[in-house]
Structure 1
Amino acid sequence: MERATPVEHEARGEHTHSETPIPRPRVRRSPAPAPAPGSGAGSAFASAVPRHVIQRASVRGQILDALRSALVAGELAPGEVYSAPALGERFGVSATPVREAMQQLANEGAVEVVPNRGFRVIRRGARELAELAEIRALVEMPVVLRLTRTVAAPRWAELRPLAEATVAAASTGDHARYAESDGAFHAAVLALAGNRQLVQLADDLHRRAQWPLAGAPVRRTRADLLADAAQHTALLDALTGQDVATAQSLVREHFAGM
């Protein structure tokens, strides 16, 4: 089989020269069987990270999760272009699952395709973040207020570990970990409405709201994350006590502080 020429690689968006260095993206660790022999994982990657981190059966999904975490953590900088082969080398996998994951991020509005080069991380401004916060409030607040009146206290108690998980994540100052726990809490609350489309829509809005702003001088501090997480536990207390007024105030404050 003939090797692809440099021109052919470039035509597929696989140019890797003079590219901004990429911090090694983090891949969520989860127990799994070791990959089958001949899975194609790079030896350098395998020597640095346990083999079970990247599972052959779900490479694309794990790469997508890791890229989303890298976006939230600011490891993929707004305005910078990253090629699939270069990212694949960081993960120790081929360019194909990376390209597929990046295409999904393009569909979500996180990146845009740059022909013959790769994918550029979208630059976002404060106005877009404010618009997302407004939409999230419009979507979630009426549902939460309805649930305050209809859901029994024992059901809310089941969500307490998720609220506490956001506090634990905030205490680490890890933006990616906090974003994940924050999204899980909001999804669990909305899931009580029994509307899957609502949960999916809210999850998409939440994910978009986590991407860092271009040129932002300061990211949310650990104290900001802790204050945000404290609103989760306070909201859960209000929901448990069917305190509609307090729940409404907390939800409004929560989204205003995004």
Structure 2
Amino acid sequence: MPPAQTPRPPSLTERTIEAVRDGIRNGTFVPGELYSVYQLADRLGVSRSPVREALLRLAETGMVAIEKNRGFRVVLPGARELAEIMAVRVALEVPAAAQAARRAGARDRAALEKEREAMQQAVRDGDEGAFLLHDQRLHGLLLNLASNSHTIRIIENLRDATRLIGMSTIRTSRSLEDVYAEHLPILTAVENGDADAASLAMRRHLESTGKLLLRGAATENDDVDRLWEDYVG
């Protein structure tokens, strides 16, 4: 048997990407504010080259906008961009939930239950940050059961692109308990090995989340239901 390969350490560019994503998640980088490439490089202790490369990759996902010779800004997606994002999430995560129901073993179900319990505890504590962390981990476990690493990275980028708006919907449109309750039918279906019920529950959860995100970003000229129908179906 060949020896196990040692995982490759992340490159400076990959470390910078993760640092910026963490900064967006925790509020260090505020949408609309202009940030200096030089200051970011100094903060991370790296040269400007990996920072520029990282920002170019993040710009491709729509998370940041680069201003030549000035710096970068975190971007909040508009309603149409959000509709496009949710269309991709529905296309990938709904069948993934069905696959998870077909493939989940006892260890997988135990891992999902651990995240569910952590989400429930975060609801009791009113801890939004902890709730969103375990929400992301739960979705990641479902994707791991069904998808390859490329799909998982795509979904992570899309979730990060909508995270700031998603946090505002929890504060203004629905409670942590509401979001938690939307996950229970998904987990019950996976526990029972019911692929059809899992895909339906995931579809309903994403539609609820997606339409709230669209309403949070919509202007007076945007018809949320029409956008959802046109892009997601």
TM-score bracket relative to the smaller structure: 0.5 to 0.7
**Is the contact made by 2:186 and 2:201 (CA closer than 8 Å) also made in structure 1?**
yes
Aligned length: 197
Q: Which runs of 5+ in 1 are unaligned?
A: 1-56
* Match of residue 173 from structure 1: 128
Query: Aligned partners of 2:178 and 2:15: how far apart in 1?
Result: 30
Greater RCO, CA 8 A, separation 6+: 2
TM-score normalized by the length of structure 2: 0.66
Query: Aligned partners of 1:231 and 1:161: how far apart in 2?
Result: 17
Q: What letter matches 1:220 in structure 2?
A: I
**Is the contact made by 1:140 and 1:190 (CA closer than 8 Å) also made in structure 2?**
yes
Aligned CA distance change for structure 1 residues 104 and 197 (closer, same or farther; 3 Å): closer
* Match of residue 116 from structure 2: 163
**Is the contact made by 2:93 and 2:143 (CA closer than 8 Å) also made in structure 1?**
yes
Provide the aligned C-alpha RMSD in A.
3.4
After TM superposition, give the deviation of residue 82 of structure 1 in Å.
0.9
Does residue 83 (structure 1) correspond to residue 36 (structure 2)? The answer is: yes
Query: Aligned partners of 1:207 and 1:159: how far apart in 2?
Result: 21
**Is the contact made by 1:80 and 1:121 (CA closer than 8 Å) also made in structure 2?**
yes
Does residue 242 (structure 1) correspond to residue 193 (structure 2)? The answer is: yes
Runs of 4 or more above 4 Å deviation: 57-63, 97-100
Does residue 253 (structure 1) correspond to residue 204 (structure 2)? The answer is: yes
Does residue 232 (structure 1) correspond to residue 187 (structure 2)? The answer is: no
Q: Which has the higher helix share?
A: 2
| Deviation by residue 1:133-170 (Cα, 9 ceiling, x = unmatched) | 23211211123223323434553223222233344456
Query: Aligned partners of 2:72 and 2:56: how far apart in 1?
Result: 9
Q: Which runs of 5+ in 2 are unaligned?
A: 1-9, 210-233
Query: Aligned partners of 1:224 and 1:128: how far apart in 2?
Result: 25
Aligned CA distance change for structure 1 residues 150 and 138 (closer, same or farther; 3 Å): same
Does residue 197 (structure 1) correspond to residue 146 (structure 2)? The answer is: no
* Match of residue 60 from structure 2: 107
Q: What letter matches 1:183 in structure 2?
A: Q
Percent identity over the alignment is 30
TM-score normalized by the length of structure 1: 0.61
Aligned CA distance change for structure 1 residues 125 and 114 (closer, same or farther; 3 Å): same
Q: What letter matches 2:59 in structure 1?
A: A
